Structure formats: C-alpha cells, structure tokens
Homo-oligomer: A and B are copies of this chain.
C-alpha cells in the first residue's frame, strides 16, 4: 500500500513556500500547530511568514487536503493531512497517536438513516493515559 502523495491542487501557483508546507505535513506523523510548521521552515533557513502558513493551510483545508482539529486542553488548532484525523491523546504527557482503523463506518449508515443526514466527514479524539505515564504515576505513588 503506497502512501498517497499530497500535491498542490490545480488552479494554484506552485510556490516554494506552498510546496514546503505540504512536504512538512507529509513528513509528520501527527497534526501540528501552524507555528510548528513556521518554525520548522525557519530552521531550515527558509524565508517564510506565519501568515503564509495560515493562508496556505486555509487553502488546503478548502480543497479537502488538510484537516484542522482542536485537542481538548489546547488553545490552538492542529493541522494535518486529512487521512490523519483520529487521535489517541495522553492527558498526562500530551503524546498523540494516530488511530488508523476507524470503526466509524459501521455506525455511519445507521446515523444517516436515523437523521437523514448526508454524512460528509467526522472527527474523533480519544483521551486517556499512555502506558509510560501509567508507569510513572505508579512510581510516584509507591515512592
């Protein structure tokens, strides 16, 4: 199974900033804050501004390539390619895992019938405590 490569959609110019933003998003396992993208590109020596990042993210969202999500307990949004949209978040350390087998489709049909909605998408975030944090907490208690 090959990774689908996100490309700049037709009708938009191929600028190096735009290209770089897409590459960053592809290289990441989890969705990130707009400023993370900005910082990573700055570190690479690229001349880019935060507004360019935001403007491109907005364009990519409108084209369905990027999905925006808000984690509980976070004040800023995260952005990621649209195939990474189901998360398992550790409430203790903030670690984020991607859930790749989404069981939602089973439920989707029922939901469409009951509410007569045409379902276009969904977003799932699951919160919990990761194995590492569970271990740390045990140590604290027994110490």
Contact = CB atoms under 8 A, between A and B. Distances in A.
Interface in A78-131: 88, 90-91, 97, 99, 103, 106-108, 110-112, 115-131
Contacts of A134: 116, 118
Nearest to A124: B124
A72 interface: yes
B123 A72 contact: yes
Copies of the protein in its oligomer: 2
A70 interface: yes
Interface residues of A, number: 36
Interface of A: 67-70, 72, 77, 88, 90-91, 97, 99, 103, 106-108, 110-112, 115-131, 134
23 contacts: A69-B70, A70-B70, A88-B117, A90-B117, A97-B115, A99-B111, A103-B103, A103-B107, A103-B110, A112-B128, A115-B131, A116-B130, A116-B134, A117-B126, A117-B128, A117-B130, A117-B131, A118-B129, A118-B134, A122-B124, A122-B125, A123-B126, A123-B127
